[in-house]
């Protein structure tokens, strides 16, 4: 039998085509199998590997571009570890910017009133709603999605972080199953915004298409969210968007004469989202 150090060296080259950190990913897969942390692995590098066969299977699966997050069933977001599952969109680092902007707005709102009410459209794994519930006291959130698997996962994440009492999860296509009497301070969304004919990178093709593709142009769902949010009298809308949608969405929102529209960039300096005060 080989040691952990030997097996990492042997398997890492199989991942060179799919990641820039092949050795690190093999280590992550080992830790997933043995249920330990990085410190444990460093202390046991020269010990006999007890999971060689299972590890080889997982490395070969990862070598097909299958997402590491789906294999390990976890993803880091906003400094925390969330549960993920195949069939639900994997959290992206750029969505942390959206959460930070929403947190700042909600803190300002809460200076003027006792609590804040938020609706999230397309909650996926629940990362946005759960993080806002973790970061803020006296917040009430309704999080909707059309995907049953996503809603189940989001509920598990809410329970993991002890915020299930702050979030109500509802199966709904946008606002369809939300009463007209419900009042909110903010709508937040990271909806599907990729054009239907866009060719996805290999690894992203394993993720659910209904969480990625937003229509022929890509911004159709965003336009629906803008229309519905304005119609319901919700004062603030914060959304993620595609890198090429700033101009058409900016022009579209002019018809509503909003008080303020701001666009922001992601960590790679691509246009990635907007905030609106109606």
Provide the domain count of the chain. 2
Same domain, 48 and 125: no
Q: DSSP state, 89?
A: P
Are 103 and 58 members of one domain?
Answer: no
Q: Do 55 and 114 fall within a single domain?
A: no
102 and 207 share one domain: yes
The CATH number linked to 183 is 3.40.50.150
* 85 within some domain: no
Instruction: Let me know if residue 32 belongs to a domain.
Output: yes
In this structure, the answer to whether residues 35 and 168 fall within a common structural domain is no
DSSP secondary structure of 102-141: HHHHHHHHHHHSS-EEEEEES-TTSHHHHHHHHH-SSEEE
What's the helix, strand, coil split of the chain in %, to 5?
40, 20, 40
| Domain assignment present for 137 | yes
Neighbours of 84 (CB within 10 A): 23
31 and 122 housed in the same domain: no
Alpha helices in the chain (DSSP H): 4-11, 22-34, 38-43, 52-62, 68-72, 95-112, 127-135, 148-160, 220-231, 246-253
pLDDT for position 213: 78
Is residue 261 in a domain?
yes
Say if residue 119 is in the same domain as residue 35.
Answer: no
**DSSP label at residue 91:** P
Are both 54 and 140 inside the same structural domain?
A: no
Both 12 and 119 in one domain: the answer is no
pLDDT given for residue 67 in this prediction: 93
| 193 and 240 within one domain | yes
Q: Are 190 and 95 in contact (CB under 8 A)?
A: yes
Q: Quick check: is 86 in a domain?
A: no
Asked if residue 248 is part of any domain, the answer here is yes
Does the pTM surpass 0.75? The reply is yes
Residue 248 structure tokens: 């058409």
Q: What is the pLDDT of residue 131?
A: 97
Domain match, 163 and 269 both = yes
Q: Are residues 150 and 259 in the same domain?
A: yes
Q: Tokens at residue 40, please?
A: 């444990």
Whether residue 72 lies inside any domain: the answer is no
Which of 12, 41, 64 is where one domain is finished?
A: 64
Residue 84 lies in a domain: no
Question: Tens-of-pLDDT digits for all 278 residues of the chain?
Answer: 889 999 999 999 999 999 999 999 999 999 999 888 889 988 999 999 989 999 999 999 999 999 999 999 999 999 899 999 988 999 999 999 999 999 999 999 988 888 899 999 999 999 999 999 999 999 999 999 999 999 999 999 999 999 999 999 999 999 999 998 899 999 999 998 887 878 887 778 888 887 787 878 788 999 999 999 999 999 999 999 999 999 999 999 999 999 999 999 999 999 999 999 99
Host domain of residue 19: 4-64
CA–CA distance from 259 to each of 186, 250, 276, 277 (Å)?
A: 15, 13, 8, 5
């Amino acid at each position: 039998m080989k040691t952990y150090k030997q097996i990492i060296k042997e398997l890492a080259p199989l991942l060179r085509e799919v990641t820039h950190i092949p050795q690190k990913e093999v280590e992550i897969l080992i830790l997933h199998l043995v249920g330990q942390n990085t410190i444990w692995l460093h202390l046991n590098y020269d010990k006999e590997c007890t999971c060689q066969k299972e590890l080889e299977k997982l490395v070969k699966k990862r070598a097909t571009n299958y997402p590491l997050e789906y294999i390990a069933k976890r993803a880091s977001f906003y400094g925390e570890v969330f549960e993920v599952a195949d069939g639900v969109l994997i959290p992206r680092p750029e969505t942390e910017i959206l959460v930070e902007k929403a947190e700042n707005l909600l803190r300002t709102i809460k200076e003027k009133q006792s609590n804040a009410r938020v609706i999230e459209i397309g909650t996926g794994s629940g990362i946005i709603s759960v993080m806002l519930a973790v970061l803020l006291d006296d917040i009430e959130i309704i999080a909707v999605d059309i995907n049953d698997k996503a809603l189940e996962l989001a509920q598990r994440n809410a329970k993991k972080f002890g915020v299930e009492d702050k979030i109500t999860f509802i199966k709904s296509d946008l606002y369809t199953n939300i009463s007209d009497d419900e009042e909110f301070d903010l709508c937040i969304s990271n909806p599907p915004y990729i054009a239907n004919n866009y060719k996805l990178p290999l690894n992203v093709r394993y993720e659910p298409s209904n969480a990625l593709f937003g229509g022929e142009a890509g911004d159709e769902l965003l336009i629906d969210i803008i229309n519905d949010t304005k119609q319901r009298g919700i004062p603030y809308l914060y959304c993620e968007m595609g890198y090429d949608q700033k101009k058409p969405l900016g022009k579209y929102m002019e018809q509503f004469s909003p008080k303020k529209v701001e666009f922001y960039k992601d960590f790679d300096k691509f246009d990635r989202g907007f905030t609106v005060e109606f």
